[in-house]
Amino acid sequence: MSLHDLSPAPGSRKKRKRLGQGIGSGTGKTSGKGHKGQKSRAGRKVRAGFEGGQMPLIRRIPKRGFNNARFAKEYQVVNLESIAAKFEAGATVGFEELYGARLIRKDTLPVKILASGEIDKAFTIKAHAFSAQARTKIEAAGGKAEVI
């Protein structure tokens, strides 16, 4: 293989659409913008949801009700089977160790340990929350579940 043999993968390079190149091109004359009106002008701007001065739908419909979902605590979840697969027996598993093992993303979300899978090694696991089953499985295996 030489430099002259290299070429981009088929379909990876697409030519840009050239507007205003004659009537026969399909994008000539009005260049695909139709005739007159705000959307045919240069620098056109119509904000999302604008209905030409008519009262927009989002403002016409009544706003009612309440949902507690916006106040729900959001966690990064880790299953026990993932911890058992990545760590040796007797290890202390905290936020940094879980991040190092790529089991969580390093952001502001707290970590919750769930009980999916079996655990046969003793770990000291430090997390923000544990499910009740996860806590019992960890303690049954001889480990400790510590809340941060």
User: What's the first-to-final CA gap in the chain, in angstroms?
Assistant: 57
**pLDDT in the model for residue 3:** 95
Q: How many residues does the chain have?
A: 148
Task: Say if residues 130 and 146 touch (Cβ distance below 8 Å).
Answer: no
pLDDT tens string 122-148: 889 999 999 999 999 999 999 889 898
> Rounded CA gap, 83 and 143, in Å?
12
Mean pLDDT, residues 109-114 taken together: 92
- Strand duo 111-114 + 92-93: pairing: unpaired
Q: Per the confidence metrics, is the pTM higher than 0.85?
A: no
Instruction: Give residue-wise pLDDT tens across range 36-90.
Output: 988 899 988 889 999 989 999 999 999 889 989 889 989 999 999 999 888 888 8
Domain parsing of the chain, residue ranges: 71-147
Rounded CA-CA distance 129/62 in Å is 39
Number of other CB atoms surrounding residue 93 within 10 Å:
21
| Tokens, residue 125 | 């696991």
The CATH code belonging to domain 71-147 is: 3.100.10.10
